[in-house]
Amino acid sequence: MNHRTGIATNSILMLCLIVLTGSANAGPRAHSPMQAPATAASAHIEPSSETLVWSDEFNGTQVQSAPDPAKWTYETGGGGWGNGELETYCAYGSNASPCNAQNPNVYVGSDGYLHIVGRKDAGNRYTSARIKTEGLASFQYGRLEARIQIPAGEGMWPAFWMLGDSIQSVDWPKCGEFDIMENIGKEPATIHGSIHGEGFTGTLMGLPYVAPGNAAFAEGFHTYGLIWSPGKVEYYVDSPTNVYATFTPASLPVGAVWPFDSGKFFFLLNLAIGGGWPGPPDQATHFPAEMLVDYVRVWQRPPAS
């Protein structure tokens, strides 16, 4: 994709590649079916050689509680996030208008899921949530995966993605971006996986994955994963053997800079509403709309001797 932004206390990142202003900026998030010099391949994973090094299982004990503050923080606000989006992002417990703490946009439920909720109020204002692990947990290399059920409906734009820790010093897109999963409601059977960096943003480096039988991804939970090793990025759906896109430095256009061997990256999860890529909700779009996350996990292999 192509919408990420810099990260600062009141300068928010945008969902999947946005151009932000202020002390943190992100790139534009122009999206359309992308064709890139990526290749499908089969991953050769040896689960016994992997160790689970970090996870959030979202096992809440209350009907609604805040995401673990030791693992997640918030990006808040509106303004379009560089993509013409319609929502305002709200933190758990926020009553800053149009947010409403009685109807949270993000919470961990006793059902064992993280809920990211898109809402529309009586004044036709949209709210949602965007959370990240920046400053709390970041990683380089390994197998990184989330199990998610995305919402259905025109104008929905859920995403599971990562940005480089260096965003505060070098800004976007130099910091690099992994878009592990993006979906737009008007393409119910398609998710997109892409990478972005200096010299390759927008629709330049991504591939779609279409569900078997054109089944809608919103109909159930799916796992969306990244297999990341030096000089290689692979995206998969539902199994690490089901790799649908592979990127290497050789995939990049002339003059582009590969940023994925230069440091650690942190997670973001969010549900955008509207924007130039998905378009606005229509009369059939149901609110509240929920993105449910069962877990986020990171496996790594021990360093070679």
**Residue 233 within any structural domain of the chain:** yes
The residues assigned a catalytic role are 177, 182
Average pLDDT of the residues in 224-230: 98
Query: For residue 19, is pLDDT > 50?
Result: no
Amino acid, single-letter form, for residue 36: A
Write out the residue range of the structural domain in which residue 168 sits. Answer: 47-300
Q: Could you tell me if residue 11 is inside a domain? A: no
pLDDT, tens only, 165-221: 999 999 999 999 999 999 999 999 999 999 999 999 977 789 999 999 999 999 999
5, part of any domain? no
In a domain, 17, yes or no: no
Pick from 20, 72, 10, 33: nearest CA to 269: 72
Instruction: Using a pLDDT cut of 70, give the percent of the chain over it.
Output: 83
265 within a domain of the structure (yes/no): yes
Q: What is the pLDDT of residues 112-123, one digit of tens each?
A: 999 999 999 999
Domain tally, the chain = 1
Q: Which of 16-25, 58-67, 203-212 is most confident?
A: 58-67
Say if 26 falls within a structural domain. Answer: no
Question: In this structure, is residue 166 part of a structural domain?
Answer: yes
CATH number of the domain bearing residue 86: 2.60.120.200
Is 62 a residue whose pLDDT tops 80? yes
Task: Please compute the mean of the pLDDT values over residues 78-106 and round it to a whole number.
Answer: 97
**Which pLDDT score is estimated for 204?**
74
* Ramachandran quadrant class, 199 (left: phi over 0; alpha: psi -120 to 50; beta: rest): left
CA nearest to 14, candidates 85, 109, 92, 67: 85
β-strand pairing of 222-229 with 126-128:
unpaired
Mean pLDDT of 221-226: 98
Q: How high is the pLDDT of residue 36?
A: 40
